[in-house]
Amino acid sequence: MELLNTFADYGHPIDALQLFQGVVDGALPGLLAGCQVMRVAAGETVLDNTCAGARLYILLRGALRACQPDLESGPAEVADVRLMPGECVGELTVLDQQTQAATIHALQDSDLLVIEAGQLWQLIDQSNGVARNLLHLLSFRIRAANAQLRRRHRVGEFYRQLSLADSLTGLQNRAWLEQNLPLLIEQTRAADNPFSLIMLDIDHFKKFNDEHGHQAGDEVLRLAARVLTETLRPRDFAVRYGGEELLVLLPNTHCKGAAGVAHRLCESLRETIFFSDMHKPLPHITASFGVASLVPGQDASALIANADAALYRAKHAGRNQVAQA
Ligand SMILES: Nc1nc2c(ncn2[C@@H]2O[C@H](COP(=O)(O)OP(=O)(O)OP(=O)(O)O)[C@@H](O)[C@H]2O)c(=O)[nH]1
């Protein structure tokens, strides 16, 4: 950064500077006259996270870029802001004496008016107009930061949901189950409600894949998931547990009710016509179902193991049917 001149000698209109716009104060030119004007070369850093509370810079000519590292996504992710003549940087570090979070560097050769911390405080003390403009500026910065936080939160939530959904079927995935089943069981216990779980497995799916191809198999899984979601109540959950094994979680449901749901699903799947394309229906598929209900002292894995054991019995009894634990 190279010293160019004083502000008085540089000869720049004060009203063109954001911080002084509309300020009617005869003392202002005198207060700014001795401030330094510095020149920064393109690419040079003006402020970074090592600068605390020293100075405010007002861009007189050129362009600056402010890069705010995204601490959650890592240093590679930055929010970019371009600063144009008349705008200022560094005001927050002067006011709170903290280090600068963003790194500011020159996009092109630029001239900067430098206002030392003591001079800025003097301007604030002497001029209501400067204090008001500074408040406007800070409220704008706070709103922009809040909007950015909300955006990041939305994006974060989008990716969180995505990471908990199975990409083929759109059902909840195993990661979701591991997070949520223990919570659902806890809530059920606290409210002294029943809770049931159905494990289902498509019958002879290996043979189906071998005969009709893996893509047709994928389509069957997608449609089976749709049958589930369309048949269940909104407060039930359908999960892809493994390859062709699906789980249905039924909060507030006794064993008898769960068996009824399983029979309904068994029938719906049996009757659904699957197409690999719009012309040729595929052979009907069936599934086997194991139903288990939560008993006192049981945890998530014991409940799943019970449903799995019931499913095993349904398979061995001839498939296309429901067995209860
Ligand atoms: N198309 C497709 N097939 C899958 C997927 N995940 C698992 N499979 C297949 O599902 C088949 C499961 O086979 P098995 O475990 O032998 O069971 P099965 O043939 O259904 O026989 P039973 O369960 O005893 O009725 C395997 O061939 C897997 O490759 C998938 O995402 N898409």
pLDDT level of residue 50 (50, 70, 90 thresholds): confident
- The side-by-side arrangement of strands in the sheet containing 64-70 is 45-47, 103-106, 64-70, 74-83
Q: Which residues is 197 bridged to in the sheet?
A: 249, 292
Find out whether the beta carbon of 201 lies less than 6 Å from any atom of ligand 1: yes
The band of 208, judged by pLDDT with boundaries at 50, 70 and 90, is: very high
Query: pLDDT-derived band of residue 63, with 50, 70 and 90 as boundaries?
Result: very high
Nearest alpha carbon, ligand 1 atom 7? 243
Q: Is the CB of 16 under 6 A from ligand 1?
A: no
**Higher confidence at residue 202 or residue 94?**
202
Ligand 1 center–CA 243 separation, angstroms: 6
pLDDT at 286: 95
Question: Three-state secondary structure along the chain?
Answer: CEEEEEHHHHCCCHHHCHHHCCCCCCCHHHHHHCCEEEEECCCCEEECCCCECCEEEEEEECCEEEEEEECCCEEEEEEEEEECCCCEECHHHHHHCCECCCEEEECCCEEEEEEEHHHHHHHHHHCHHHHHHHHHHHHHHHHHHHHHHHHHHHHHHHHHHHHCECCCCCCECHHHHHHHHHHHHHHHHHHCCCEEEEEEEECCHHHHHHHHCHHHHHHHHHHHHHHHHHHCCCCCEEEECCCCEEEEEEECCCHHHHHHHHHHHHHHHHHCCCECCCCCECCCCCEEEEEEECCCCCCHHHHHHHHHHHHHHHHHCCCCCEEEC
pLDDT at position 30 is 92
Domain ranges of the chain: 2-159, 174-324
Q: What pLDDT, on the 0 to 100 scale, is given for residue 273?
A: 82
User: C-alpha angle with apex 293: 287 to 294, nearest 5 degrees?
Assistant: 140
Rounded to two decimals, what is the model's pTM?
Answer: 0.69
The CB-side HSE value for 164 (13 A sphere, CA atoms) comes to 14
Q: In terms of pLDDT, which residue wins out, 56 or 99?
A: 56
- What atom of ligand 1 comes closest to residue 220's alpha carbon? 1
pLDDT of residue 144: 86
Ligand 1 atom at minimum distance from 205 CA:
20
Q: Is the predicted pLDDT of residue 62 greater than 60, yes or no?
A: yes
pLDDT tens, position by position, 276-295:
666 677 788 999 999 999 99
Q: Which fold has domain 2-159?
A: Jelly Rolls (2.60.120)
Looking at residue 70, its pLDDT comes to 61
pLDDT of 81 reads 84
pLDDT given at position 95: 86
Instruction: Return d(Cα 46, Cα 313) in angstroms, integer.
Output: 72
**What are the residues facing 57 on neighbouring strands?**
89, 114
CA of 244 to the centre of ligand 1 (A): 6
| Cα 301 → chain centroid | 29
Q: With contact defined as beta carbons under 8 Å apart, do 83 and 65 qualify?
A: yes
CA of 259 to the centre of ligand 1 (A): 24
Nearest residue (CA) to ligand 1, atom 8: 243
For residue 202, the model assigns a pLDDT of 96
pLDDT of residue 24: 87
Q: How confident is the model at residue 161 (pLDDT cuts 50, 70, 90)?
A: confident
User: Which residues are bridge partners to 67 per DSSP?
Assistant: 80, 103
The mean pLDDT value for 239-252 works out to 96
For residue 124, give the amino acid letter: I
Task: Say how far apart CA 279 and CA 98 lie, in whole Å.
Answer: 68
Nearest alpha-carbon partner for 58 in 133, 129, 125? 133
Q: Tokens for 278?
A: 């719009």
* Ligand 1 binding pocket includes 91 (Cβ within 6 Å): no
Top CATH class of 174-324 equals alpha beta
Helix axes 214-231, 255-271, angle to 10 degrees: 140
Q: Is the pLDDT of residue 267 over 90?
A: yes
Cβ proximity of 67 and 103 under 8 Å: yes
The response to whether residue 211 sits with its C-beta less than 6 Å from ligand 1 reads no
**pLDDT score for 71:** 53
Q: Is the pLDDT reported for residue 321 higher than 90?
A: yes
Neighbours of 135 (CB within 10 A): 11
User: What distance in angstroms lies between residue 205's CA and the mean position of ligand 1's atoms?
Assistant: 5
pLDDT at 79: 63
Mean pLDDT of 192-218: 94
Residue 72 has pLDDT above 80, yes or no: no
